[in-house]
Amino acid sequence: MVLIKALLTGLAGVSLCMANISGIVTDTGSTLIPGAVVQLEKGGQTATTGVDGSFTLATTAILPVNGKLLPNGLSARISGTMLNVTIAERTAVEVATFDLTGKALATVRKSMDAGTHSIALPQRGAGVYLYKVKLGNREFVLKGNSVGGASYGNAVSTQGLSSNHLAKQAKTTAAINDVIAATKTGYLNYRCVQYNSDTTGMQIKMIASAGTVTDADGNVYQTVLIGNQVWTAEDLRTTKYNDGTAITKVTDSTAWANLTTPAYCYYNSTMNSDSISKFGSLYNWYAVNTGKLAPVGWHVPTDSEWEVMQCYLVMNGYNYDGTTDTTNNKIAKSLAAKTDWSTYSNTGTIGCDLTKNNSSGFSALPGGFRYDDGSFYYQGYDGDWWSATEFDATDAWGRGLDYDHGYDNLGRGSVSKRVGSSVRLLRDN
């Protein structure tokens, strides 16, 4: 952090606000958990909880200008792998890239005419980077978050704004868009969207794991106890049956629409390994009906077994309002993971526990689905899972959550067997 401050030495009026995210990690009660690793996934800051379960993450919060025109006709914005700048007159442009240790990574220099220009940024791994931009005799700094080779970020400070003014505003606008994660052997991985870079007294509650299970590809899944049932806490992503034979992968839409045999695919057929690990695969019901998707000792739950889980949550106070009401199926808040779901357009940004609390540990993600015509829909908005129970000759029972209605209930419906849906596994009794 000292090197970052040194980087900005000489930039009069630049405000780099050093903020902390701090708190404690406990189990679902009040037992402190030492030795948990807490991390901001995009920023890369990491801490390990002490014997008192406490942690502190030092973050870099810089006042955003949201790409608006800066003094002297300057503006800048990072988009993907490009830095977009607007200048009022022909001038020399220099862009120096630094990591959070203050190490200089690359420098680009060129002369540009008045107007808007795009400058290619150096390829980087995931993390937070600082860019010192010189346009003529003006200098300012941008912060960018790089994920999967693409970046995003805006101009954060400039000489033309007073340091007092920036520092005052930075206290109320120290915003980030990251995921805070906590891992500890014996507990489910914790992940939650984090919007405030200056947060104290946070309490992360980790749910005990019921162990792991490994599929035929060697993928390892965390599991969770819900009532008397043990469920996988991740969506299935195996490409093989439990006897080692390959499941047919079908990418062509027309071919998928005409299938009456087992198959799987990935959403939009082009997901990278990180997305596959997160959202899993989509399977038609013919694959489910083989009885060979799950490792030995596990199976795809029947419709009645889904009902058992649902009734347990309802009867044990997992309703959205915390009440026990056997007629109330408003349990989706307790099922939904705290990341990757789209939010209501009229509620603005949300943080941990405001819309989703995942108190069941089921960790449902919106993997979307593949319709029976071969088209893909609603990743980020819907999560849909098969049961092993047939409805009739063409349909089977499934369950689902969606981002706007799903926070009220866990839906149940008959679905065409040709649809591609996610799969969860249940341990045999």
**Which has the minimum average pLDDT: 82-86, 173-177, 226-230?**
173-177
**Which has the minimum average pLDDT: 16-30, 138-152, 193-207, 415-429?**
138-152
Q: Is residue 278 part of a domain?
A: yes
Q: Which position has the higher pLDDT, 259 or 62? A: 259
CA distance 47 to 58: 9
Per-residue pLDDT, 10: 41
CA distance 122 to 149: 9
- Strand arrangement of the beta sheet that strand 75-80 belongs to: 104-112, 91-99, 127-135, 138-147, 150-158, 75-80, 82-87, 115-120
CA distance 127 to 111: 29
Q: Is residue 248 part of a domain?
A: yes
Question: Domain range for residue 379?
Answer: 212-427
Instruction: Find the mean pLDDT for residues 34-47.
Output: 91
Per-residue pLDDT, 75: 62
Instruction: Find the mean pLDDT for residues 161-186.
Output: 62
Rounded to 10 degrees, what is the CA torsion of 287, 288, 289, 295?
100
Q: Which helix (H) or strand (E) holds 332?
A: helix 332-335
Per-residue pLDDT, 120: 81
Specify the residue for token string 């406490």.
54
Whether residue 336 contacts residue 318, with contact meaning beta carbons closer than 8 Å, is answered with no
Per-residue pLDDT, 354: 43
Residues of 150-168 as b/e, b for ≥16 C-beta within 10 angstroms?
ebebbbbbbbebeeeebee
Q: Is residue 231 part of a domain?
A: yes
- Is the pLDDT score of 172 beyond 70? no
Per-residue pLDDT, 192: 92
Q: What percent of the chain has pLDDT over 70?
A: 72
Summarize pLDDT for 182-209 with one digit per residue, the tens. Answer: 999 999 999 998 877 778 889 999 999 9
| Backbone φ and ψ of 256, nearest 5° | -60, -45
Q: Which of 386, 391, 399 is nearest to 329 (CA)?
A: 399
Per-residue pLDDT, 8: 45
**Number of separate domains in the chain:** 1
Whether residue 183 contacts residue 168, with contact meaning beta carbons closer than 8 Å, is answered with no
Summarize pLDDT for 210-225 with one digit per residue, the tens. Answer: 999 999 999 999 999 9
Instruction: Find the mean pLDDT for residues 15-27.
Output: 75
* pLDDT band for position 61 (cuts 50, 70, 90): very low
- Is the pLDDT score of 30 beyond 70? yes
**Which has the minimum average pLDDT: 104-113, 123-132, 281-290, 418-427?**
123-132
Q: Which position has the higher pLDDT, 129 or 90? A: 90
Per-residue pLDDT, 272: 84
SS percent in the chain: helix, strand, coil, step 5: 10, 40, 45
Per-residue pLDDT, 73: 46
Q: Is residue 419 part of a domain?
A: yes
Q: Which position has the higher pLDDT, 305 or 194? A: 305
Q: Is residue 327 part of a domain?
A: yes
Q: Which of 366, 415, 356, 364 is nearest to 386 (CA)?
A: 415
Q: How far apart are the first and last CA of the chain?
A: 53
Summarize pLDDT for 316-357 with one digit per residue, the tens. Answer: 888 765 555 555 567 888 899 999 988 643 333 333 444 578
Q: Is residue 281 part of a domain?
A: yes
Whether residue 383 contacts residue 234, with contact meaning beta carbons closer than 8 Å, is answered with no
Q: Is residue 40 part of a domain?
A: no
Q: What's the chain's average pLDDT? A: 80
Specify the residue for token string 């106890």.
225
CA distance 155 to 4: 16
* pLDDT band for position 110 (cuts 50, 70, 90): confident
- Is the pLDDT score of 111 beyond 90? no
For residue 124, what are its two tokens?
């980087």
- Sign of CA pseudo-dihedral 137, 142, 148, 150: negative
CA distance 83 to 110: 13
Q: Is residue 297 part of a domain?
A: yes
Q: Which position has the higher pLDDT, 150 or 44? A: 44
